[in-house]
Amino acid sequence: MLIKKLLLLSGFSLIAGQTLFAQETPTPTTPAATGAATAAPQWSSRDMTYRGKGYDVLDSAYYGKKSKKQYHQYMEHQTAFPPMPRNQWEVGFGFGLYNISGDIPSLMLWQKGGGGLHLQVRKAWGYTFSTRLQYIYGVGKNLDVQPTQSFDAPYINNGYTPLSSATATNPASSVYRATRTESSQMNLDMIFNMKNISFHQARTSMSFYGYFGLGALAYKTRVNALDANYAAYNFGKGGLNISATASNKDVRKALQSKMDNTYESAADRSSNASTILDKKTLDFAPSLGAGVEIKLNKKFNIQIEDRYTFPSDDYLDGTRLGKAIGNQMSVSQGSDGINYFSVGLNYNVPTKKKSVEPLYWINPLDHAYSELSYPRHMLLPNPVLPDEDNDGVTDQFDKCPKTPAGVAVDGHGCPMDTDGDGVPDFKDKQLITPTECQPVDADGVGHCPCPEGCGGVNNGKNNCTHIVDGSIRFSGNSAITPALAAQLATLANQMRLDADCKVVVMGGGAGGKKQEQKAWERVNAVIEYMTEKQNILRDRFIFQYGKGDDENLVVFRSASKDDSGPSAPPPPHPNLK
């Protein structure tokens, strides 16, 4: 009956495994093939998790109350380590080979021996350590394949002749011992898994582990000493006729075909053994084991495992006596053992709150590597672009890469040429040469008398045509760097050409008090530099801030007739640190 149950469970597991493999559809990590050699990994727009990999570390729903403090510290960049997510419990069942290693040879399952079933529940407490509670129901069978003569009580009490009085003509003194051990075993295992922490792949489909267990073992051993008529077996002539020259395999098959399966007699046991439930011997036994789990999908996995249990009792197989040596029976020098080799199916139990798979399936380096390649949380510094001549225009866009220091430049990084005569302003001795007076000489002087106002004095027509809109960006603090100074020098030259025009200097800071105060400081630094270093009157500026989100960006433009406002408003939050 037990063998039929094991075969039925085996068939069910195979069918379930095939179904699970068929149902799991892997999430694509790249777009459909378009001929490109490699496509960039994609982020899911639904839950923002990296496809084919782990959970979204930035999602607070994965963390319990005890982890919230660390989560907020991580999000505020106060710590570099995210908290451990809530993970699921694993439950499972399985079956396998259950063998008693003792003084009598053990029968394997395919030799009509015993087998075992187990139920278990497992919880991960970290990425390498987990605990498991496992219950095993096992039946082990042992059978002598060589005759011996026994002092064991079950055989003596049932008519066998002890070795001390046996004779060569008394075949009834030959004994083939047959025992059946039924046990229940409850173990608490400390499991250490390997391979999920990997530097070269995001996830693993196989989890190798080893464990140490402590448990309680309750067992009862029975002996098959009587035949169907409740008479002692006669293994010699006139009885079962077991040939002394037969091979071990033939002896085993002959015994199993001629002996019944009643196991009617109680086996020997230790005189000081504790008992529980139906007079079962109770023992506390440690065990060692190793196994592998093969992942089917995020919910199911197959488990293959071997456990060896070390009871302190030498009577698991019903005897502590071995073969006859002379006229004495050999005595076992150690305790019996139990080997349970099993195959099982495990299921990750979902929780009401958001949770991940058991942590032994998750690579904790997954988030670190994903953040390096596709940063979402990482603090990245503002890009520093090369500017060899330090004129405020990066080399990538600078059409005049070697402008002398302190020379005002236009948006292309070339020296300003206000009148467009081909001679830059810093060399032009006639700053505004009328078109009708061009071309000019090497000093920028035209060939006609200079009209009124061409030397830089405004002619009364205030069109603000020379002031070009622009912007500058601060980094770190409100200091005016040489690059910013070059840009502001250009603006100062433009304002001198349009002496009747005002300039609106506008900053951001719309995000909050801290940002608003910082934007005010940036705008104030620009206006103070223009008044103190470039000698531009302060009342020619209109001071504005809180106009955008970026507090580090300051924009300037020529004022229209509708623009108005103070040039020196007080700081909005002077006491804010």
What count of other Cβ atoms lies within 10 Å of the Cβ of residue 157?
Answer: 12
Cα three-residue angle 490-492-494, rounded to 5 degrees: 75
Residues 216 and 341 in one domain: yes
- Neighbouring residues of 34: CB distance < 8 A, sequence distance ≥ 6: none
SS3 381: coil
Domain containing residue 191: CATH number: 2.40.160.20
Residues 356 and 465 in one domain: no
Pick from 257, 281, 277, 278: which is nearest to 268 by CA?
281
Q: How is the chain split among helix, strand and coil, in percent rounded to 5?
A: 20, 25, 55
Residues 112 and 257 in one domain: yes
Whether 150 is in a domain gets the answer: yes
- Of 563 and 321, which is predicted with more confidence? 563
Pick from 88, 291, 133: which is nearest to 206 by CA?
291
Report the distance separating Cα 413 and Cα 398, nearest Å: 5
In the predicted model, what is the mean pLDDT of the chain? Answer: 81
Q: Give me 530's structure tokens.
A: 């223009």
Residue 142 confidence class, pLDDT cut points 50, 70, 90: very high
Q: What do you get for the CA distance between the two ends of the chain, in Å?
A: 80
**Is residue 321 a contact partner of residue 152, using CB atoms and an 8 Å limit?**
yes
- The amino acid at 164: S
Which span out of 173-177, 514-518, 524-528 was modeled with the highest average pLDDT? 524-528
Boundary (domain end) residue, out of 309, 330, 361: 361
Mean pLDDT score, 558-568: 88
Among 45-49, 278-282, 370-374, the minimum mean pLDDT is found in 45-49
Chain Cα centroid distance, residue 121: 22
pLDDT attached to residue 332 = 63
Q: Give me 50's structure tokens.
A: 């990296």
Q: Give me 287's structure tokens.
A: 């065990």
Whether 413 is in a domain gets the answer: no
Whether 319 is in a domain gets the answer: yes
Residues 349 and 478 in one domain: no
Residues 331 and 468 in one domain: no
Domain containing residue 524: CATH number: 3.30.1330.60
Report the distance separating Cα 458 and Cα 83, nearest Å: 67
Whether 422 is in a domain gets the answer: no
The range of the structural domain enclosing residue 514 comes to 458-558
Read off the pLDDT of residues 319-347 as tens digits, 9 standing for 90 and up.
887 765 545 556 666 789 999 999 999 99
Report the distance separating Cα 58 and Cα 83, nearest Å: 10
Residue 454 confidence class, pLDDT cut points 50, 70, 90: very low
The answer to whether the pTM exceeds 0.95 is: no
**Is residue 433 a contact partner of residue 446, using CB atoms and an 8 Å limit?**
yes
Cα three-residue angle 434-439-445, rounded to 5 degrees: 65
Pick from 80, 85, 92, 28: which is nearest to 62 by CA?
85
222 has which bridge partners? 180, 266
Residue 444 confidence class, pLDDT cut points 50, 70, 90: confident
Whether 57 is in a domain gets the answer: no
Among 57-66, 188-197, 316-325, 530-539, the minimum mean pLDDT is found in 316-325
Residues 357 and 468 in one domain: no
- Neighbouring residues of 1: CB distance < 8 A, sequence distance ≥ 6: none
pLDDT for 422 beyond 90: no
What count of other Cβ atoms lies within 10 Å of the Cβ of residue 559?
Answer: 19
pLDDT attached to residue 436 = 65
Whether 263 is in a domain gets the answer: yes
Domain count, the chain: 2
